[in-house]
Amino acid sequence: MARTIEVEAVVVGAGPGGYPCAIRLAQLGVKTLCIEKEYWGGVCLNVGCIPSKALITAGKRFEDLADLSTMGISIPEGERSVDMQKLQAWKGSVVDKLTGGVRTLLKANKAEMLTGTATFTGPKTLSVQTSEGEVTVKADNVIIATGSRPVEIPGFKYADERILDSTKALALKAVPGRLVVIGGGYIGMEMGQMFAKLGSKVTIVEAMDSILPGFDADVVKLIGRKLKKSGITVLTGSKALGWEEAEGGAVVKVQTPKGEQALEADAILVTVGRRPNSEGLEPTGVKLERGFVVIDKQCKTSVPGVFAIGDVAGGAMLAHKATHEGEICAEVVAGHKASNDARTVPAVVFTDPEVATAGLQEHEARAQGFEIKVGTVPFAAIGRALTTGHSEGFIKTIIDAKDNRVLGITICGDHASDLISEAALAIEMDAEALDIALTIHPHPTLGEGLMESAKAALGQAVHVLNK
């Protein structure tokens, strides 16, 4: 006979949206159960954001070793090597610490946990298959936090050994000699550059006319130069037609603007986007659009007492957006006045150099009809950047010409991922450029570039020429 658990709230999925939601619900005194079928911490902690950034960091440091000679530090030729077994073990240790932390935090906050595959049997009832048998769960409130998975394209099935999704690619025990990456968005760019640094000969195939579709033209231009310098081949306006096994590897057929090409590969990485895990939600009765659960600013679905957060609810498919929604949702379930009124969801691409945005990019502001002023400061004008040996890139501040309000900041350069939080805060606070410009930034730091960029937008820069 199935065991029955009755709670005030059940969270289905323990990813970066689900587990913070469950923790916050428990903190607010709501009797909460969190169900996870495989990865405590979700795709992000286990096979996504964290392991990929670990390997990206390793690739960057490996490449940096070759550049130390400019600082007078030399490593004998041939002594640079990568032990992928040890690298994977280190990556695994990072993941284990974080996923273990998730379970510890849930337990410490008195949120119940259940490992198993949940199936909805009604809007607020579930059947969970666990290692110990079936468990029936009934709840007053249900939070759907089931996440997303990589899109599979015709002719490239992940079941084939040579075809990699991001999860398989991050678990490779050897660096592929020749890697074809299908998709030149942020995941393809991050992974492609990482493997190139570790020794792969990489070709990126992108269907659009440009890599990193939707990003600032100056960003695309800079990253494009870096790819060329790194020996990475990029085929834009091109479509992968299929592949076949050949002597010594695989051959990928690609339709390019110059005709059909055959690319030799040892592995083929497909990174063309992600799709929501919304199958099986029919018994809940929630409204779906293009597979995503429709929610309002309080994460409420079309069914009272049923909520959705994170990737399955659409919008920016980013871990930090999911976490924010999870915490908002918990407050709403607990009866507090809360809603998602964020002005911006900052985005980061861990390419080399890194790219980060908050608010509107320059082309987006123009497209929305704003009259703007733009201040751009190259990393080469920032003293700290020169001392690190990474002076590629720029910081661009976009302000409304009418009242000097900050509309957006784009950073392309070393540590852009760390610098963008100040930009996000400025936009959330509806700051003027002067708020950043008149804030004393410590010297010598990369953060000074944000101050100088805001001054440049006002025509008051002292370390770059004002336009």
Q: Indicate which residues carry an active-site annotation.
A: 443
Beta carbons of 185 and 213 less than 8 angstroms apart:
yes
Task: Please state the separation of Cα 444 from the chain's center in Å.
Answer: 29
First to last CA, the chain: 76
C-alpha 304/C-alpha 27 separation (Å) is 23
Helix or strand run (H / E) with residue 204: strand 201-205
Tokens of 348: 């980061």
C-alpha 226/C-alpha 267 separation (Å) is 23
C-alpha 191/C-alpha 202 separation (Å) is 10
The per-residue DSSP string of 38-69 comes to S-TTHHHHHHSHHHHHHHHHHHHHHHHHHHGG
Beta carbons of 368 and 398 less than 8 angstroms apart:
no
Beta carbons of 287 and 308 less than 8 angstroms apart:
no
Which CA distances in Å does 272 have to 56, 185, 187, 203? 19, 7, 8, 15
CA angle 270, 274, 276 (to 5 degrees): 150
